[in-house]
Structures are given as C-alpha cells and as structure tokens.
Amino acid sequence: MNEIRLKDCDGMENFELQEIEKTNQKNMKLDHIEILTNELKATKDFYEKVLELPVTEYNSKSVNIKIGSSALTFVENFEKSNPIYHLAFNIPENKLNEVTEWCANRIELIKKEDAVLIAEFESWNANAVYFYDNNGNLLEFIARKDLPNSEAEAFSSKQILNISEIGIVKENPLDFGNRLIEEYGLNFFDKNQNSELFTAIGDDNGLLIIVKAGRNWYPTEIPAKRYRTKIGLTNKEQSNIIEITA
C-alpha cells in the first residue's frame, strides 16, 4: 500500500523537548464520551461490523460501544444539525503499519496524492492515520511511541486500546484550557505548544483537543464547529464530567 508521511501537523510546532520517560502511570483517562448522531442504526452497524467493536447497549435513543478501556455513546440527534466530531483511538505503539493493512478491506483511510496519509507528530513522538465513520466524524488511529504498550500478536480490534482524544471547539482554546485547569485540576499537554488556535489538555493516555471555531480539522477541509458533547474523565484518580453545549 502506498503511503505518504507528513510531519509536525495539526498545529504542533517542531520544538525541542526534554527526554520523556516511558511510564505505565495513567494521569488522565477518557472514560466515557457521549456525542450525537443522525443515524443510530447505521452507527451501530459501522462500529460493530466494520470496526468489530462490541456494542454493550442499543435502543431507540442511543447506542453504547466499548472501545478498549473507554466507552463511546451515540445519542439520537433531535436538533436540525449535522454534527461532526473528532476522536482518536490509541493503538499499540508498534502497530501503525499493521492497522493500515487491517483497515484496507474495511474502511478507506484518508489519502494525500493517492497515498495513505501517515501523520508524523515529531514533538508528540507519535504517528497516526485518519478515516471517517458513517456520520462523517473524523476518526484517528494513533500510535504513541512513549507509551510502553507494544504487542506481539497480529493487530485486531482488541488492540484498539481506548479513546485518547476528543475534539472540543471554542472561540478561545487557550482561555478555555486555563479554565479547565483551574476548575478540574487538569494540566496542559507538555508535548504541545498551546496557543489561541490549538490547545491540548492531558497526556498520552487521554487528551482534550481544543481548537478555535472555524479552524479545519487536520488533515481535512472540514471547519470545526461546536456540538453537544459529554465527557467523563479520570485525572489523578479524580472523576469529572465536562459538558459542552452547542
């Protein structure tokens, strides 16, 4: 499969970082994400049949999907909108090539110049590939080299480890990030150069990706808009729920 690699994307500037020690400690974890969908049944089918993830609950109003140690709930959208979200899923740090092959017969990965786009985030020490779900949500498989989670077995959906990023859209991401730090005791992501356009809160295990409204979701031409989102997270053993309104 042809591939094209892009470096230092999504607002991450190339700046020198001190060596980061690999650790099993999980400071922040995205336990549960709740977002909207206009296509409940099709969403269930995509995550269950295409991505081969277990559906733990399904009814006329919502569907709940187990994604490793996280849960993703889609709720029927009664608003006149077409919500688009961004989420990333951690995979083992040594499995990016295998996940690309695994996707080949299931989904179409985003390409650039007719080759699969592999984003290389040098300052984050991570690589990623992107694709869409049935709703048009921008999804990402990301391998973070500083997490000691390598696997010897062939890649399968069981190696989709957790939800590691959820996109949040605000007029001033840096101000909102500071509010989250003050109210919930969270931390800026120390590998990111935060700004009024792009701010990251958390760590390699779980990140709130806060972008300015209207900024395109990398690597697409889709402008970021705010839609209702409910985030259940654990940070330093403290559980919190953050609700984003439309």
Tokens of 91: 């995979």
Q: Give the residue-averaged pLDDT of 164-169.
A: 98
Tokens of 31: 């336990």
Predicted local confidence at residue 14, as pLDDT: 39
- In a 13 Å sphere around the CA of 175, the CA atoms on its Cβ side amount to 5
Is residue 243 classed as helix, strand or coil in its secondary structure? strand
Tokens of 21: 């020690």
Which of 110, 20, 38 minimizes the C-alpha distance to 76?
38
Q: Distance of CA 34 to CAs 64, 77, 78, 137, Å?
A: 9, 12, 15, 13
Residue keyed to tokens 């992107």: 130
pLDDT at 186 over 60: yes
- Residue 182: CB atoms within 10 A of its CB come to 9
pLDDT in tens, 130-156: 999 999 999 999 999 999 999 999 999
Q: Which of the two residues, 3 and 55, has the higher pLDDT score?
A: 55
For residues 14 and 2, give the distance between their C-alpha atoms in angstroms, rounded to a whole number.
26
Q: What is the CA radius of gyration of the chain?
A: 17
% of the chain surpassing 90 pLDDT: 86
Q: Is the Cβ–Cβ distance between 114 and 2 less than 8 Å?
A: yes
pLDDT in tens, 4-44: 565 555 544 333 333 334 444 458 999 999 999 999 999 99
Predicted local confidence at residue 25, as pLDDT: 47
